[in-house]
Structure 1
């Protein structure tokens, strides 16, 4: 017998909905694990400063080319570090949207598409 997601009378099939929710949860866990392992790199100053972040946004490395170090102009170096970290963080954000976007789009906001207030 073929199982229908909506029973006669418009009532949702809760067992089918639970299976779908479990599948989505597994996909989200896998996507989060993939993001936690991913490392993204951002650069500034034509590669003088490089920052590496995890997909979670955690900064794990900053490399500075010695040519970027000028004791009389520390401000420029600081700006390059901020720009490189920002560039890497933006890459992490884009990867997160790529991995999680398709999963969270089906939730329909807080209601999860269930039409229940607060859920």
Structure 2
């Protein structure tokens, strides 16, 4: 019986430590106020249409957190209106962004650079 408790306790400990699993399955996401929220349902899966920068906020002047590689999947968190971007993924100018979780990094990408998969 004790063996059955090890996995849930280990998962909880990792979540409290700030470790976030990949886009598949459940994930732990840090909100803007740095509180931790566990997502129990599967995420809405997104695929990058080209290599795209995941940024700290929804503007091209924001810090780049990591590169999201073309054809790989991440989780959609929500859509946001943000700073305009030009020539992103073949679109001349637009301002809508997606808040995403890509391999444990929560940030923003231009909406036109991802598609639901």
TM-score (norm 1): 0.26
Q: Between Structure 1 and Structure 2, which shows a larger proportion of helix residues?
A: 1
Q: Which has the larger radius of gyration?
A: 1
Higher RCO, 1 vs 2 (CA within 8 Å, ≥6 residues apart)? 2
Q: Between Structure 1 and Structure 2, which shows a larger proportion of strand residues?
A: 2
